Chains A and B, each alone.
Chain A
Amino acid sequence: MKSKITRPESLKNVETHYCAGCGHGIVHRLIAEVVDELGIRERVVGVAPVGCAVLAYDYFNFDVSEAAHGRAPAVATGMKRARPDLIVFAYQGDGDLAAIGTAEIIHAANRGEGITVIFVNNGVYGMTGGQMAPTTMIGQKTETSPRGRIAESEGNPIRVAELLTQFDGVKFVERCTVSKPHNVLKARAAIKAALQIQVEGKGFGFVEILSPCPTYWGLQPRVAMKMIDERMTEVFPLGRYKNVYAQAAAR
């Protein structure tokens, strides 16, 4: 018997614009694999953010819309409310979700919209050239924090997974990373769990993925991955923060 790992059907066979070693490509593939596995390719609708993943609609082989910067959760809300039979997910970066779109993510989560949000956190604005993000780590140098981020004047990195966990409307929260193979598999399982919850009509799921930006971290891709494990996970601890249904089942 032959077993084969191939490109998922839900990922178009095209080259991405991402830099070498960028985590977006891995996350795209994971979403595509899960969509295939759940058999929802023909009823899934994605919302692409403004940021490096803005062209996600060119890579996913299913229906995808753009959204204005930060507004993906509001757009996804409108989609899901209008067509509850569709499986709707928003794909957002850290500037999109945790800076300009803070209101939209918090309120979509608090309303418990029946959508899934995939949050790719690489601590930097990639598309505009490496500026500081709300999730940039203390001391991390960026285009707009040339001396390294200073808590006193620039605040501390925002921990979105922890922030959203407190809302009753949120049913599933996990922070994972794509730093090495077993973490990628965990991220895949988290994406699957969050989408599965939506397929079952059970509410808002959120997956934060720590992802490398080798270009604007100024690191080789392999070193960037180590940086996630060694430094980023200290600020952003990995783990399943919430799964209402698993907790209910355990009780």
Chain B
Amino acid sequence: MAKVIIDTRRCKGCELCVDACPQGVIAMSKSLNDKGVHFAQPARLEDCTGCGLCAIMCPEAIIEVEREEAQGQGPPGPAHRGSGARS
């Protein structure tokens, strides 16, 4: 079970996360945020694997990614090997 959370108020609409997502989870909104831009939002969250590539590319550092990891299982995605502070 994975979850991607985007602070859409601060999104500047660069779409780098859209390109980065291998599952096509993220899409740009039809509506505008307070900055007047179409913001990135998780459109098909059910397909999210929690790989974290979107967060890796986000210049605003406004994407958080969560996922359940099975016990004993090594960190699978590149994000979890390298980028991102983990808690």
Contact = CB atoms under 8 A, between A and B. Distances in A.
A and B touch in the complex (CB under 8 A): yes
Contacts of B53: 181
Interface of B: 10, 12-16, 18-20, 37, 50, 52-53, 55-71, 75, 78-87
A184 B85 contact: no
Interface in A1-47: 1-9, 11, 15-16, 18-26, 28-30, 32-33, 36-37
Given A15-B10, A221-B14, A222-B16, A6 B59 contact: no
Contacts of A3: 50, 66-69, 75, 80, 86
B68 A188 contact: no
Nearest to B75: A3
B12 A21 contact: yes
A185 interface: yes
Given A3-B75, A20-B14, A25 B68 contact: no
Contacts of A29: 58-59, 61
The 10 lowest CB-CB distance pairs between A and B, nearest first, are A25-B59, A5-B84, A21-B14, A20-B12, A221-B14, A20-B14, A185-B82, A8-B85, A5-B65, A181-B53
A76 to B, nearest CB: 25
Nearest to B2: A3
Interface string A175-195: 000101110110011000000
Most buried by A among B16, B55, B87: B16
B69 A26 contact: no
Given A1-B71, A2-B69, A5-B55, A21 B16 contact: yes
A20 B37 contact: yes
Contacts of A4: 64-67, 86-87
Given A5-B65, A181-B53, A16 B19 contact: no
Contacts of A225: 16, 19
Contacts of A5: 52, 55, 63-66, 79-80, 83-86
Interface in A141-187: 178, 180-182, 184-185
A189 B83 CA distance: 9
Contacts of A19: 12
30 contacts: A1-B69, A2-B67, A2-B68, A3-B66, A3-B75, A4-B66, A4-B67, A5-B64, A5-B65, A5-B84, A5-B85, A5-B86, A6-B85, A7-B61, A15-B10, A20-B13, A21-B12, A25-B58, A25-B60, A26-B57, A26-B58, A26-B59, A29-B61, A36-B85, A180-B57, A185-B82, A214-B14, A221-B14, A221-B15, A222-B19
Contacts of A36: 85
Nearest to A24: B59
A1 B13 CA distance: 32
A176 to B, nearest CB: 13
Most buried by A among B18, B68, B84, B87: B84
A188 B83 contact: yes
Contacts of A222: 14-16, 18-19
B86 to A, nearest CB: 6
